[in-house]
A = this chain, B = another copy of it.
């Protein structure tokens, strides 16, 4: 059995990372994973929120959103609804945690980096694409801060890299990097965030259809770890370009 787009079960969709997309942001990346396109910008500001002042530590946070027609049918804007939905909140928090897991906030010093991940077009895996792209934007914003002397020259702010991918079980088959048409059919859906060294930062598995057992979980995690290693290579290539 083959996948709709001809991929193998353990194969990523085509991934590109256009680094420095934004003329204004201190770091930015437009990541494309198949039909999913996410613009990630990192805004660096000297100083921290009031509740963190004077502790010698920096702050990294993230906000995720979708353009109204990023999806197949139009969604109302959250600005007009006057509130941020649960899904948006949840994903923003996930991205923030994933990035902070590889940041040494002491080394960052009293600086703040806000990462905006705006989905321009969605075709499954927007939150994991956001994390993978956000890491590149973050790395550049940190480089900018070091160049501007807001960060000490020798401090190692990034302890590791971080990338993420979705995996799922469809018709009993574990598959890597689900496109939207696959995602809606998945019995189990899992988002996995992995560091460059291959350690887990976040494992979020949900039984959409039937509950899953330990063996299925293990196979999904294997797929995810390998997929993230591939993404790590693409991130490195972008950052070295």
Q: For the complex, is A110 an interface residue (Cβ under 8 Å from B)?
A: no
In the complex, what distance in Å separates the CA atom of A93 from the CA atom of B204?
13
How many Å from the CB of A208 to the closest CB on chain B? 8
Partner of A202, one of B25, B73, B78, B205: B205
Number of copies: 6
What residues on B are CB-neighbors of A121 within 8 Å? 22-24
| B120 and A39 contact, CB distance less than 8 A | yes
In the complex, what distance in Å separates the CA atom of A186 from the CA atom of B6?
43
Partner of A93, one of B86, B120, B200: B86
In the complex, what distance in Å separates the CA atom of A28 from the CA atom of B97?
34
Q: For the complex, is A116 an interface residue (Cβ under 8 Å from B)?
A: yes
| B69 and A80 contact, CB distance less than 8 A | no
What residues on B are CB-neighbors of A79 within 8 Å? 65, 77-79, 81, 83-84, 88
| B221 and A211 contact, CB distance less than 8 A | no
Q: For the complex, is A41 an interface residue (Cβ under 8 Å from B)?
A: yes
Q: Per-residue CB proximity of A57-84 to B under 8 Å, as 1/0?
A: 0000001010111111110011111111
In the complex, what distance in Å separates the CA atom of A206 from the CA atom of B80?
25
In the complex, what distance in Å separates the CA atom of A82 from the CA atom of B81?
8
In the complex, what distance in Å separates the CA atom of A63 from the CA atom of B73?
16
How many Å from the CB of A152 to the closest CB on chain B? 23
| A199 and B221 contact, CB distance less than 8 A | no
Q: For the complex, is A217 an interface residue (Cβ under 8 Å from B)?
A: yes
Q: For the complex, is A126 an interface residue (Cβ under 8 Å from B)?
A: no
Q: For the complex, is A239 an interface residue (Cβ under 8 Å from B)?
A: no
What residues on B are CB-neighbors of A87 within 8 Å? 93
What residues on B are CB-neighbors of A23 within 8 Å? 35, 121, 123
Q: For the complex, is A118 an interface residue (Cβ under 8 Å from B)?
A: yes
Q: What are 11 A-B pairs with beta-carbon distances under 8 A?
A: A25-B69, A43-B69, A65-B79, A79-B84, A83-B84, A86-B90, A97-B206, A200-B207, A200-B212, A203-B204, A203-B217
Which 10 A-B residue pairs are closest in the complex by CB-CB distance? A199-B211, A86-B89, A78-B79, A41-B69, A43-B74, A203-B205, A79-B79, A90-B90, A89-B89, A201-B207
